[in-house]
Structures are given as C-alpha cells and as structure tokens.
Structure 1
Amino acid sequence: MTALSPSDWVLAAIAALGIGMSKAGLPGISLLHVLLMARVLPARESTGVILPLLILADLFAVSAYWRHARWRYVLAPLAPALGGIALGAWLMPRIPDGAFAPVIGWIVLGLGFIQLGRRHRPAWFEHFPHSRPFAWAIGILSGLATMLANAAGPIMGLYLLACGLPKWAFVGTAALFFMIVNLVKVPFSAGLGLINTPSLHLNLWLAPCVVAGLFLGRAIVQRLPQRRFEEIVLIFSLAVAVHLILRG
C-alpha cells in the first residue's frame, strides 16, 4: 500500500469522520470520504480501505437505529442490489478508474428532480416511489454504485426521501440496508485484492474517527426538523451529482 504523508493522514482522518457522519443520517456527506480517500490512495485501492470503515459505521448505526427501520424499504431494493454488486465486481477490472462516476451523477440528479417533484406536485408522485419497478431500479443502481465507487448513499437517500420516510425511519432503514449490502461486498473486494493486511492496518488507525463522526452526525440530525433534514439531504445529494458529472 502507498505510504502516507502527514497531510495524507489528515485527509484520511477527515474522510473517516465523514463516513461516520454520513451513517448518522447525512448521506450526501458520503462524497467527502470518496473524494478525500481518492486523493490519498489510488481510486481502486481506496475502495478497499473505505469498505471496512463503512461496515464499522454500519454496525454502530444499526445498533442505534434498527428499531426505526422500515423493513419494506430495506427488502424491496435488496435483491436487485445484490445483483448490482455482482455486476459491479465483474465490471471493476474491465473499466477505467472513474469511468462510472458521471453515470452515477446523472442518476442522482434524476432522483433529485423526482424528490423536487414529490415536494411540489405530491399527487403526481404518490404511488411511483413505492412501485416495485422503481425499487428494483434503485437496487440495481445502488449495487453498481456502491461496488464501483462507494457512492450509493445519495441514491438510496433520495429513494427513501421520495418514499416519504420520517427522519429516524430514514436513518434506520438506510443503516440496515447498507450493513447488509456492505457485508455482501466483502468477499468480492477481498477476491479483487482490495482488502488486505496493510489496508486493514490503516482501518485500525482510522476507526476512532469513524466513531467520532457518528456522534457528531447524530448530534446534528437530532437538532434538524424534518423539512430541514430533507432539504439538507437533497442539497448534499445534488452537489454530489454535479461533482460526479463534472469529474467525468
């Protein structure tokens, strides 16, 4: 693994803090750890470092929020998400680093406009987000995005907003969904050589930052009313979309 300079360690610590905050209910912040880790390490290598940190954050988040989870919205996109992970693992060695980023960006942007439509024309979108085809599309896209770029947070976040979940149900459902998805990714990432002894050693050093981010994110989310929470998720997610599109 690439040796880290002092400035790299600072960026990695901030990225780990962002992972914890995103799992506490601020999914748009997931852009932070993707961008910073990609500056510290090569893009593919960074995904192997990020995944165990995501799982650590998932375990803490599920232990805190599982009672709020809505199983319907966990299970509806889960099977297609597993298929998306398998497809992403097959594609990863076959496409250039970052080639999928603009696609994820356009997907997130489209979901953002659906959420805007739901807020301003709720009657038009009353049934659409709850339909099986929409859940399957979200699942496949989330599986691909999480395997190729660890960037499924905004996709799932906007899906749960479109379904009208209250704040804590949103957090609990997202935590449970991603814990399952990220655990499924482990054998694929290990098989691709992305998780190894040096990457796990780095994870040990960064784990306290993840835990600190969870507490910081929870403190922020607790103080947000529902509408402001939705606005922040939407704004962060659209910022992610624009960045991913421009990066391509």
Structure 2
Amino acid sequence: MNVWQVLGASAAAFLLALLSAVAGFGGGVLLLPVFTALFGLRTAVPMLTLTQLSSNGSRVWLNRKDIRWPLVGWFALGAVPLAVAGGLLLAHAPLGALKRMLGVFLIGVVVWRHLRRDPGKPGDKAFIGVGAASGLGSALLGSVGPLTAPFFLAYGLARAAYIGTEAASALTMHLAKLGAYGAGDLLTRTVIVYGVVLTPATLAGAWVGKRIVGRISDRVFVLLVEAGLLLSGVLFLVGF
C-alpha cells in the first residue's frame, strides 16, 4: 500500500464527505476523478461505493430524526434491482457516453428549475423511477447523487430532511451494488483494504459537515445544491 496514495485519498475523502454532508450530494461525483487518477476506473468505482457506504451511513445516523422513510422505500423499489443489474454490467459498459449524457441532464435541470417557477411536487411513487435511474447510473459510474437532488428538492425537503432522506435512499442502492460487484469479482483485496482505510476520513468529514449545515438558511442550502449540480454536470461533460 502506497502511503502517499493513502494520504491523498484520505484527504479527498474527508473534504468530499464534508461537501456531501453540507449539500446532501456531490462528494462521490467529485471523488470519482480523484480515485480514477490514483487507482484506475474499474477499481475506483467499487472503491468509491465502499467509501460512500460509510459516508451515507453516517449522514443517516446524524439526520435520523428527519428522514422521510416512505420515500426511501419507494426509491429502493426502483434502485435495488437496477443497481444489481448495473453492477453486473460494469465490466463491459460504455461509460464515456453515459457520463456525457448525465452532464447535459444535470445542467439542464438547473436551467429548468429557474425557467419554470412552479415545477410541481412529485408524488411518492415517482421515486420508483428516480431510484431506478439512479441505481443503474450509480452502479456504472460510482455516484450520481446529483441526479436525485432535483426530485428531493421539488418534493419540498430541505437541510436535515433532505440530507438524511437522500442518504438513506442511497444506502439501499450502495448495498445492492456491493453484492453485484462481489458477484462480478470487482471487490478485490485492494478495493476492500482502501475502503476500510478511508472510512475514518469519511466519517470525520460527515461529522464536520453536519455542524456546518445547521447554520445556513434554506435559500443558501438550495443555492449550494444547484452549484453542485452545475459543477457535477461540467465534470461529467469534460470526461471525468
């Protein structure tokens, strides 16, 4: 194990877990290019899933009183089967085209939110479709947290309710992905060791982020989320 790789990955995991704890998403999307540069894409995606498992689990615990569990259930109905399918397809999927499509979608969502003043509140069952799209995309790309953000925001969730509900939904998806990666022989010794080593950094980042998010207004929170959507979209478009 290369000590400089560990230090670099730990620093990135801490900073991006902090970002996820504040904005509810974004850490995985921004961590993927870091892990890819350090370890290669096929190792980076399952390693990122292990890192996100601890990050999302900590956000669930820290925001457990505000989670909307019925939404988590509807999300899981779509996310779990598609996450398993995507995890089994990872070794052969054309990732470049999918990333660019997601980049266009994420930027378009922010534009759409500002052009349409009253986008309407999605129904609970709509989150089956949100979960299905997220499960497939996440299994292939490691993280598509920004994909779900507009729907949770349109539902009316903010701050602790949004962060906790999104994290609990993502947790069901990541557990399903790990099962698929294991079946596809992608959970190598390197992936597991680094996933364990990086867990303390992600937990620390989530804890610090929780302290920050309670001090910002709902308006600033939404602006942070939209900024994250735009940044994530650009990163996908330029090929990360």
Q: TM-score w.r.t. structure 2 length?
A: 0.89
Query: What does residue range 38-77 of structure 1 map to in structure 2 within 5 Å?
Result: 38-77=36-75
Q: 2: CA distance between counterparts of 1:163 and 1:232?
A: 17
- Structure 2 residue ranges without an equivalent (≥5): none
Query: What does residue range 10-49 of structure 1 map to in structure 2 within 5 Å?
Result: 10-26=7-23, 27-49=25-47
Q: 1:44 to 1:140 in 2, by over 3 A?
A: same
Q: CA deviation at 1:112?
A: 2.4
Q: 1:110 to 1:81 in 2, by over 3 A?
A: farther
Superimposed CA distance per residue, residues 94-143 of structure 1 (whole angstroms, 9 cap, x where no aligned partner): 2244342112212322332343345xx12xx224x3374x4343222211
What secondary structure, in the 3-state scheme, does the structure 2 residue paired with 1:100 have? Answer: helix
Aligned to 2:123: 130
Superimposed CA distance per residue, residues 186-224 of structure 1 (whole angstroms, 9 cap, x where no aligned partner): 110112222122222222322221122112211221221
Aligned partner letter, 1:44: R
8 A Cα contact 2:95 2:141, kept in partner: no
Aligned partner letter, 1:71: W
Q: 2: CA distance between counterparts of 1:109 and 1:175?
A: 22
Q: 1:204 to 1:30 in 2, by over 3 A?
A: closer
8 A Cα contact 1:66 1:172, kept in partner: yes
Q: 1: CA distance between counterparts of 2:40 and 2:94?
A: 12
Q: TM-score w.r.t. structure 1 length?
A: 0.86
Q: 2: CA distance between counterparts of 1:174 and 1:146?
A: 14
Superimposed CA distance per residue, residues 127-168 of structure 1 (whole angstroms, 9 cap, x where no aligned partner): 4x3374x43432222111210112221112222112221211
Q: 1:131 to 1:57 in 2, by over 3 A?
A: closer
8 A Cα contact 1:15 1:34, kept in partner: no
2:106 corresponds, among 105, 108, 114, to 108
Q: 2: CA distance between counterparts of 1:117 and 1:163?
A: 18
8 A Cα contact 2:71 2:124, kept in partner: no
2:136 matched to 1:144? yes
2:193 corresponds, among 177, 201, 207, to 201
User: How many positions carry a matched residue from both structures?
Assistant: 239
8 A Cα contact 1:23 1:214, kept in partner: yes
8 A Cα contact 1:74 1:173, kept in partner: yes
8 A Cα contact 2:86 2:140, kept in partner: yes
Aligned to 1:227: 219
8 A Cα contact 1:84 1:141, kept in partner: yes
- Structure 1 residue ranges without an equivalent (≥5): none
Q: CA deviation at 1:87?
A: 3.2
2:109 matched to 1:94? no
